[in-house]
Amino acid sequence: MFPVVELNHVAHVYVTDREASLAVNDLQITVSEGEFVSLVGPSGCGKTTILSIIAGLIIPTLGEALIYGNKLEGPSPEVGYMLQQDYLFPWRTIMDNALLGLELTHRITPESVEMTSKLLEEMGLAGKEKFYPPQLSGGMRQRVALVRTLATEPGLLLLDEPFSALDYQTKLQLEDLIVKTLRARDKTAVLVTHDLSEAIAMSDRVILLDANPGTVRRMFEVPDNIRDALPFDARDQAGFQELFHEIWSEMDSTSV
């Protein structure tokens, strides 16, 4: 069985009228089916570039990116992308926003509408289907964005700092909700975050990147007792603080 994600000696150069900038270099990353992997590192280490490559939004300058063994030449229906902003259309109802991905891919059916309605219910949004985005809190809006992404049934979910604009309590609640939802559906996920605690609490594996250009510095396996707990409880598990300080120390040494 192929890994869900393979980056083989991937490098990418951004070119402008004035300069060429090497964003990431010689990346060797694999993500297995059902795995939750986080990318952490200093600003400028290419985390979002890596997500864009996996999403098929950027074709790497060198190397190859594969999803389920197939070389990416553009966006794939197997990949769902959840961004920092929810990007809900204020003139569309919550249900219509949740159905947008299915609508754009011409997959609106009675079955897909029913599944989307069920997803909204699972996210605690039952009864909100006819509401509009301005009527919802930031946390609820992000739940709608998650439903919109999951409704198209991607095998791989990319998460680009989806909690960064939320208050701490809402962020913790959404961490648990996303992990429970992905585990129940056996989904694979790659998270980009600046929050090291979040990365450890949600992940099976944490990949630390160096900057300028972005390269893999080190990979950390999260112990079973931490990864088996939901994120809120994971922070209280034995070994959590030790792993946090180990990664922090390694990260801190990159700036010396």
pLDDT digits (tens, 9 = 90+) for 201-249: 999 999 999 998 999 999 999 999 999 999 999 999 999 999 999 999 9
- Is the pLDDT confidence value at 121 over 90? yes
Q: For the chain, what percent of residues have pLDDT higher than 70?
A: 99
pLDDT at 255: 57
pLDDT at 249: 94
Mean pLDDT, to the nearest integer, of 173-189?
94
Query: Residue with structure tokens 């600003």?
Result: 43
Residues 207/37, Cβ–Cβ less than 8 Å: yes
pLDDT at residue 165 tops 90: no
Which pLDDT value is given to residue 164?
A: 86
Helix pair angle (168-184, 138-150), 10° resolution: 20
From the list 44, 40, 36, the residue with the least C-alpha distance to 5 is 36
Q: Over range 172-179, report the average pLDDT.
A: 94
In tens, the pLDDT along 55-82 reads 999 999 999 999 999 999 999 999 999 9
Residue tagged 């890596």 (tokens) = 50
pLDDT at 131: 97
Q: Which whole number is the average pLDDT over 101-125?
A: 93
Confidence of residue 254 (pLDDT cuts 50, 70, 90): low
Task: Say how far apart CA 206 and CA 29 lie, in whole Å.
Answer: 11
Task: Indicate whether 125 pLDDT > 60.
Answer: yes
DSSP the chain: ---SEEEEEEEEEEE-SS-EEEEEEEEEEEE-TT-EEEEE-STTS-HHHHHHHHTTSS--SEEEEEETTEEPSS--TTEEEE-SS----TTS-HHHHHTHHHHHTT---HHHHHHHHHHHHHTT-TT-TT--GGGS-HHHHHHHHHHHHHTT--SEEEEESTTTTS-HHHHHHHHHHHHHHHHHTT-EEEEE-S-HHHHHHH-SEEEEEETTTBEEEEEEEPPHHHHTS-HHHHTTSTTHHHHHHHHHHHHHHTT-
Q: What is the mean pLDDT of the chain?
A: 94
Long-range own/partner contacts, residues 233-236 (CB < 8 A, 24 or more apart): 234/200, 234/201, 234/202, 235/197, 235/201
Q: Please say if the pLDDT value at position 144 is more than 70.
A: yes
Q: Which residue, among 164, 181, 229, has the nearest Cα to 80 in the 3D structure?
A: 181
What mean pLDDT do residues 124-147 have?
95
Q: Beta partners for 40?
A: 208
State the pLDDT at residue 127: 95
For domain 1-69+188-256, give the CATH number. 3.40.50.300
Give the mean pLDDT of 7-17: 94
